Amino acid sequence: MKNVIELRKLSKVYKDVTTVNLEKITVREGEIYGFLGPNGAGKTTTMKMVLSLVTPTSGEILVNGQNVKKDKTYLNQIGSMIEEPS
Ligand SMILES: Nc1ncnc2c1ncn2[C@@H]1O[C@H](COP(=O)(O)OP(=O)(O)OP(=O)(O)O)[C@@H](O)[C@H]1O
Ligand SMILES: [Mg+2]
């Protein structure tokens, strides 16, 4: 099965505070993936980076094998609701 999402050494630093620091996450096609963690762990920030709503400090995000930094057309294939849909 192909990987639909790959996060590699992904980080986000706001001022001096590291809010996301991930070694690797892989989501394969057809998988239902639960992304769990305590309040403030960086889940929403990570999802916003996958959606190009937040720019990563370092690392790589691949969706369907393509680096999202270069080409945003992948967003045409994604539905999302981040936190409060209202
Ligand atoms: N725009 C921002 N500027 C500065 N700090 C931020 C910003 N957005 C988030 N943070 C901080 O980053 C950390 C991670 O926040 P995030 O909202 O990603 O966590 P979360 O895992 O989604 O939490 P929750 O379970 O409460 O939804 C928190 O300490 C938060 O205060
Ligand atoms: Mg959240």
* CB neighbourhood size of 84 (10 A): 5
Domain 3-77 of CATH type 3.40.50.300: yes
How confident is the model at residue 29, as a pLDDT? Answer: 96
Q: Relative to the CA of 14, which ligand 1 atom is closest? A: 4
For residue 8, give every residue at least 6 positions away whose Cβ sits within 8 Å of its Cβ, in sequence order, or none.
24, 59, 60, 61, 62
How confident is the model at residue 86, as a pLDDT? Answer: 66
Q: What is the pLDDT of residues 43-66, one digit of tens each?
A: 999 999 999 999 999 999 999 999
How confident is the model at residue 84, as a pLDDT? Answer: 78
How confident is the model at residue 44, as a pLDDT? Answer: 96
H helical segments located in 1-86: 43-50
44 lines ligand 1 (CB under 6 A): yes
**Which ligand approaches the C-alpha of residue 81 most closely?**
2
Residues of the chain under the 50 pLDDT cut: none
CA of 42 to the centre of ligand 1 (A): 5
28: left (phi over 0), alpha (psi -120 to 50) or beta: beta
